[in-house]
């Protein structure tokens, strides 16, 4: 499990995250909900080691991972699929995927091949593009590639930052379906940050609402879905107008 214990993060002199506490149990998808600028991305980036928390600890299965740089955090089993996909547009799909397990590649070349097959089975649409440049894929395929790349290192937990951005609804649901597969087949924990709150709430087990860098509401999917505050703020203009 992943345990976040009182984490605060500053960017420059500004405190973005204020003592965040939460945890992800094995086999869970946890959704983090919040407005633009609420601190969701900062939270994910802090977990992944791109920012160094100014206080608090992050523990992944008895292993303290806070304070390590991003490249070390990956080795410890936490993988972040960044916002806007950030695939390597000048590399082929295969190269993109293989880079996903950079830290282990030279030690376990065989595992790399196995993982590659596994991921390609999971995302059949990537198979036919294996030799194409990542930059030439469609948005949906790029997102699949980004997730697949994140999974290549056999992470214990995978973090997804707005995977639905700029994608047609149909594809968004395909991606969310994949998350269920990741959770069930691979047993990987998932943290999902999503604008599309309704969709996110469909797949998650647990959800946290973050505002102003603080977690203001938390609960199970059903609790959050029925929370009137959440409904008015995030679940649509119908309630806002009403």
Partner 1 sequence: MSKLLEVRGLTKQFGGVTAVSEISFDVGAGEIVAVIGPNGAGKTTLFNMISCFLSPTNGEAYFKGNKLTGQKIPQLAHLGIARTFQNLQIFHNLTVLENVMMGAHVKLKTNVVNAAFRLPRILKDERIAYDLALDAIHLVGLEELMFEQAGQLSYGLQKQLEFARAIVYKPDFIMLDEPMAGLNDYETNRMAGYIKKLKSEGISFLFVEHKMATVMELADRIIVLDFGKKIAEGTPDEIQQNAKVIAAYLGEEVV
Partner 2 sequence: MELLMQYIVTGLTVGSIYALLAIGFVTVYNITGILNFAQGEFAMIGALTCITFVNAGLPMYASIIFAILISATIGLIVERTAILHARNTSVIILIIITIGVSTFLKGMGLIIWGTNPKQLTPLIKMEPIHFMGAVINPQSIFIFIVLLILLAVLYVFFEKTYIGSALRACEKNPRAAKLMGINPSTMSALAFTLAAALGAIAGILITPITDATYEMGFLIGVKGFVGMVIGGMHSIPGAVAGALLVGLLETFSGGFISTFYSDAITFLVLILVLFFKPNGIFARASGERV
The residue from 8, 10, 35, 61 that contacts partner 1 (CB under 8 A) is: 35
The tokens for 126 are 């990537």
The answer to whether 160 and 81 have CB atoms below 8 angstroms apart is: yes
**CB within 8 A of 119, min separation 6: which ones?**
97, 126, 148, 151, 152
The binding site for partner 2 (CB under 8 A) comprises 48, 50, 69-72, 74-75, 79-80, 82, 86-91, 95, 98-103, 105-106, 133, 135-137, 149, 153
Q: Please report whether residue 241 would count as binding partner 1 according to CB under 8 A.
A: yes
Residues between 52 and 91 that touch partner 1 (CB under 8 A): none
Give the shortest CB-104-to-partner 1 separation in angstroms: 33
Of the listed pieces 110-118, 143-151, 198-206, 219-227, which binds partner 1 according to CB under 8 A?
Answer: 198-206
What number of chain residues touch partner 1 (CB under 8 A)? 33
Partner that binds at residue 69, options partner 1, partner 2, none, CB closer than 5 to 8 Å by kind:
partner 2
Partner that binds at residue 86, options partner 2, partner 1, none, CB closer than 5 to 8 Å by kind:
partner 2
Sign of torsion, CA 114 112 143 207?
Answer: positive
The tokens for 86 are 């950030």
With b meaning 16 or more CB within 10 Å and e meaning fewer, what string describes 218-239?
A: beebeebbebeebbebbbeeee
- Whose Cβ is closer to partner 1: residue 40's or residue 156's? 40
Closest listed residue to residue 203, CA positions, set 217, 186, 224, 218: 224
Size of the chain in residues:
242
The residue from 55, 173, 219, 225 that contacts partner 1 (CB under 8 A) is: 173
The tokens for 80 are 């972040």
Q: Under DSSP, is residue 110 helix (H, G, I), strand (E, B) or coil? A: helix
**CB within 8 A of 14, min separation 6: which ones?**
none
Q: Please report whether residue 1 would count as binding partner 1 according to CB under 8 A.
A: no
Give the shortest CB-84-to-partner 1 separation in angstroms: 9
Q: Please report whether residue 6 would count as binding partner 1 according to CB under 8 A.
A: no
- Whose Cβ is closer to partner 2: residue 18's or residue 104's? 104
Partner that binds at residue 195, options partner 2, partner 1, none, CB closer than 5 to 8 Å by kind:
partner 1
Side-chain half-sphere exposure of 241, counting CA atoms within 13 A: 3
Question: Which residues bind to partner 1, rule: CB under 8 A?
Answer: 12-14, 16, 35-38, 139, 162, 165-169, 172-173, 176, 195-196, 198-199, 202-203, 211-212, 232-233, 236-238, 240-241
């Amino acid at each position: 499990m992943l345990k976040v214990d009182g984490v605060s993060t500053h960017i420059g002199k500004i405190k973005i995250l204020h003592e965040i506490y939460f945890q992800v149990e094995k086999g869970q998808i946890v959704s983090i909900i919040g407005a633009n600028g609420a601190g969701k991305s900062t939270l994910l980036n802090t977990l992944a080691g791109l920012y160094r928390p100014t206080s608090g600890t992050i523990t992944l299965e008895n292993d303290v991972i806070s304070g390590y740089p991003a490249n070390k955090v990956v080795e410890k089993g936490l993988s972040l699929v960044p916002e806007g996909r950030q695939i390597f547009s000048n590399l082929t799909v295969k190269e993109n995927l293989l880079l996903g397990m950079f830290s282990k590649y030279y030690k376990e070349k065989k595992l790399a091949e196995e993982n590659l097959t596994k991921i390609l089975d999971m995302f059949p649409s990537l198979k036919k593009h294996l030799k194409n440049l990542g930059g030439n894929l469609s948005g949906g395929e790029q997102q699949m590639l980004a997730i697949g790349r994140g999974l290549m290192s056999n992470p214990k937990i995978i973090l997804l930052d707005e995977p639905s951005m700029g994608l047609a609804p149909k594809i968004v649901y395909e991606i969310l379906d994949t998350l269920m597969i990741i959770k069930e087949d691979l047993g990987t924990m998932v943290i999902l940050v999503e604008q599309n709150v309704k969709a996110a709430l469909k797949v998650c087990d647990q959800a946290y609402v973050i505002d102003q860098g603080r977690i203001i509401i938390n609960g199970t999917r059903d609790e959050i879905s029925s929370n009137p505050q959440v409904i008015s703020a995030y679940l649509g203009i119908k309630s806002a107008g009403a």
